[in-house]
Amino acid sequence: MMLTALRSRGATKSTREIPIVNETVLVVDDEERIRSSLRGILSDEGFRVVDTGDAPSVMELIHREAPSLVLLDVWMPELDGIELLRRIKSETPAVPVIMISGHANIQSAVAATRLGAADFIQKPFSVNGLLASITRALDGGGTAALNAAPQAPAPLAHIPHHGRSMMHQRTIAHPIVLGGQGLHTGLKTGVILHPAPVDFGIVFSSLSDESAVPVRIENVTDTGYNTTLTSGSRSVRTVEHLMSSLHAFGITNLLIKTDEEVPALDGSAIEFCRHIRQSGVAEQEASADPIRVRDKLLIGEEGDGQEYIAAERADHLIIDYTLEYPKPIGKQTVHFELTSAAAYMEQIAPARTFTFVGEFRKLTEMGLGGGGRLDNLILVDEQKIVNTTLRFPDEFARHKVLDLMGDLYLLGRPVLAHICAAKTGHSDNLALVKAIRSQLAN
C-alpha cells in the first residue's frame, strides 16, 4: 500500500486525490494535543485512527484492533517507549512501528531502528515528513516507498551520454543502520539509509525530514579536511567515505538520515560496503547514463613532483594516484580499476584516513578532529606510525583514491575516465568534478 500524495504544513487538502485506504493506525502518545492533531491528519488521508495515552494498554489494543502501523512516542510516563517497542516487535513483529520524539538525536534513532522501528521522526514534524515516513513503513522500505518524499530534489539534471555504456539506476534493497562517532565533531552520530525511487538522487536529511541536503556540486561548502555539503542552514560533514562506497556500488537513489557528520567508523569505507552488500542492491526500471570524459582535462601542471589531477577518456574508472610525504610515509603510487564493487572492497575500501601528530594538534585548535581516536585513523609522527599496523604497504595512497572516488560521486553518476593525480586533496578533486560537469554541458 502507498500514499499517493503529501501535504505541506498547514494544508487542508492533499495535492492529489487519495483513495480511501481503510488502514488502521494506532497512535500512542501521552499528549492529547498530539493525538488530536494526528487523528485529524491521518483521518483526512483515509486512515482509521485508534489512539491512546495509556502505554500499558497498547499490547491489548494491538491484538484487538490489528493496526497496520503504530506511531509510538519515545517518552511515555508509565512505560518507556523503547521498552514498549521491544514488546511490540517481540509479540507482533510484522507490525511496523514509527517512533516519534521531541528530544531525539541520530543515536536514539539508530538504537530504535536496530530494535526494529521502521522509522524515527522528531517533533515538531511536518505533515510531509510524517506522511513520507508512513509511506516508507507501509511499503516495507521498498524502492517505491519515497515517491513523494518531502523536500526531495527535482529529478537529477540530465547528463548527456557520450558513449555506448548504459546502466540502470540503483538503490539499496533494504534500509541500513550504522552508528559511530564523527571524526571532526567528535559527537556520537549515525546514519540510516533508506531505499529511494527512480530519479530521487542522493539526499541527506534530518530526522524530521524538514531540512534536506541534496548531493550536488553547488552544495559543497568546505573541502579543507573533508567534504561538507550545505543547503540552507543545514550542513553535513565528512560525506566522502560513504559517497565513495555508493560510487563503487553504483547507488544513484538514496535517502540518508543523519546529524551534522557522517560517522567515521574505522576511518575507512569497508563497513559501509559490507552493509550495502548485506542489504543488497536493487536495480530500478530507469536508465542512468554513466558520465564519460570526452576530452582530456587538467587541473595543475603535470610533471614529476608537481601537484595536479587530470582525466581523459576510458571505458571504466581507472585511477593512478601518486602520494608523496616526508618519511615515514615517503612516495607511494597506486593503480586501481573499478571493474566491480568486489574489487573496490578488496583494494580500496579498507584504507583508512590518516594524519600527522602535528596536524592533529592543529585540527584540535581549529575545533576539528575531536573524534579522532586510535581506532579510526592512522596517526603518524616524524619517525613511525604510532597506533596501528598498516593494512596495505601503500594504504595512505589507497585512501586518497577512496576520497577521490567519493568526491567524483558528487556528480551523482558513476564516472568513466582514466584519472591521474599527484599530491592532491579534496579541493583539487572538486575542481576536476566542476571541469567534468562543464565539459558535459557543452
Q: How far apart are CA 158 and CA 234, in angstroms?
A: 26
pLDDT digits 0-9 by tens, 430-439 = 999 999 999 9
Looking at the structure, tell me whether residues 300 and 427 fall in a common domain.
yes
Looking at the structure, tell me whether residues 53 and 191 fall in a common domain.
no
Give me the mean pLDDT over the 267-282 stretch: 95
Looking at the structure, tell me whether residues 81 and 108 fall in a common domain.
yes
Per-residue pLDDT, 122: 79
- Examine residue 316 and state whether it is found in any structural domain, yes or no: yes
Q: Which of 41-55, 200-214, 293-307, 378-392 has the lowest mean pLDDT?
A: 200-214
Question: Which residue range is the domain that position 340 belongs to?
Answer: 291-441
Grid cell at residue 184? 571532526
pLDDT band with cut points at 50, 70 and 90 for residue 7: very low
Looking at the structure, tell me whether residues 250 and 307 fall in a common domain.
no
- Examine residue 11 and state whether it is found in any structural domain, yes or no: no
CA atoms within 13 A on the CB side of 352: 24
% of the chain beyond a pLDDT of 90: 54
Give me the mean pLDDT over the 96-108 stretch: 79
Alpha-carbon separation of residue 104 from 138, 197, 298, 392 (angstroms): 23, 27, 46, 40
Looking at the structure, tell me whether residues 382 and 407 fall in a common domain.
yes
pLDDT digits 0-9 by tens, 291-312 = 999 999 999 998 888 999 999 9
| Residue among 184, 194, 247, 426 flagged as catalytic | 426
Decide if 194 is catalytic.
Answer: no
Q: How far apart are CA 18 and CA 46, in angstroms?
A: 8
